[in-house]
Chain A
Amino acid sequence: MDSEQRVADAMGRRLSERIRNLFGRSLHIRHVDAGSCNGCELELHTLMNPYYDIHRLGIFITTSPRHADMLLVTGPVTRNMQPALLTTYQAMPSPKLVVAAGVCACTGGLYNVHTYAAATGLEPFLPVDVVIPGCPPSPLALIQGIMLALDRVDQKVKGGTIELRASNGSRPIRGGHDG
């Protein structure tokens, strides 16, 4: 068990090194709006203004999937946009990363009910590397999510189970959000 853990750690380190070498210096993002309400797009566009300025981090938004390293998807993936999304993903050269921005891309968000648009999030269609919750995620949250995909920051949130006493005392067993 311990040797398995060591192998897993070594593989993890090699993978993050590889990611850092491949994408660490410059990242080109292809953004696809898969039926979004455009709230997430507004937050994404603020990343390119001088206040947040992701260009100084080496991150650029590109319009061609052939040039892209990362696919950033917003919106709950409506039925109309599914073929376009899959074509975009197939047009991107490997290695590539996929980020789901906003709760719509995570789980369908507000639209995760039975509608004609069949919008239930990105996970049934593409392998997702990072999910960024938020409705919409603030620009700093988007920066944190993109950096997490590049392995330049650590993941802060960790779910889990908190066991409670019925009489309102608390005794956390494991996990929990640390803010």
Chain B
Amino acid sequence: MRAWMLRGLRTGIVATKYPRTRPDTASRTVPRIDPTLLQRADCVRLAEVCPTAALSCLAEPAETKLVLDYGKCICCGLCAEGVSAAVTMSHDFELAAHDRRDLRTEYVFREADRGQ
């Protein structure tokens, strides 16, 4: 912000370019789930705490599936507040997609993997 002000005063140009390197925005956006930290028991609690069902859980004996849908996420941050260590709020905003199904990520725990 300060660099922009100084550059603007010096050159008279205030328009900012699209960030070339890893873009970041100051406000938090969607949650990011770390698959290495996600526990099977967290899935139901995460789905319960999400107000818009962006996080939804299908829990069966054979498999537990957690679905994170960016198309429904209102970025409230409730899922990142102590339910699971795997969820942190990110600053990712380059989420535009042609197909809404590209916004869905599924995290699947299969019973067959238990104990391996």
Contact = CB atoms under 8 A, between A and B. Distances in A.
B95 interface: yes
Contacts of A156: 94-96
Given A138-B93, A165-B109, A167-B114, A133 B103 contact: yes
Contacts of A131: 71, 96-98, 100, 103
A138 B29 contact: yes
A51 B95 contact: no
B95 A165 contact: no
A63 B107 CA distance: 44
Interface in A127-179: 128-135, 137-138, 140-141, 143-145, 148, 155-170, 172, 175-177, 179
A140 B114 CA distance: 43
Interface residues of A, number: 49
A52 interface: yes
Contacts of A137: 93, 95
Q: What DSSP secondary structure best describes chain A's contact surface?
A: loop
Contacts of B115: 166-167
B40 A144 contact: no
Contacts of B108: 161-164
A140 B29 CA distance: 12
Contact of A179 (B27, B73, B90, B103): B90
A162 B110 CA distance: 11
A107 B72 contact: yes
A106 B104 CA distance: 12
A156 B98 CA distance: 11
Contact of A144 (B53, B94, B109): B94
A109 interface: yes
Nearest to B4: A51
Contact of A130 (B30, B39, B97, B105): B97
B101 interface: yes
Contacts of B53: 112
A179 B32 contact: yes
Most chain A Cβ neighbours within 10 Å, of B37, B52, B69, B90: B52
Contacts of B114: 165-167
Interface of A: 50-53, 56, 103, 106-107, 109-110, 112, 123, 128-135, 137-138, 140-141, 143-145, 148, 155-170, 172, 175-177, 179
19 contacts: A103-B72, A110-B52, A130-B97, A130-B98, A131-B103, A132-B95, A138-B25, A140-B23, A141-B25, A144-B94, A157-B96, A163-B110, A164-B35, A164-B40, A166-B111, A167-B116, A168-B36, A170-B35, A179-B90
Given A51-B15, A157-B94, 9 more contacts: A107-B69, A123-B100, A133-B73, A140-B18, A160-B106, A166-B110, A166-B111, A168-B36, A170-B36
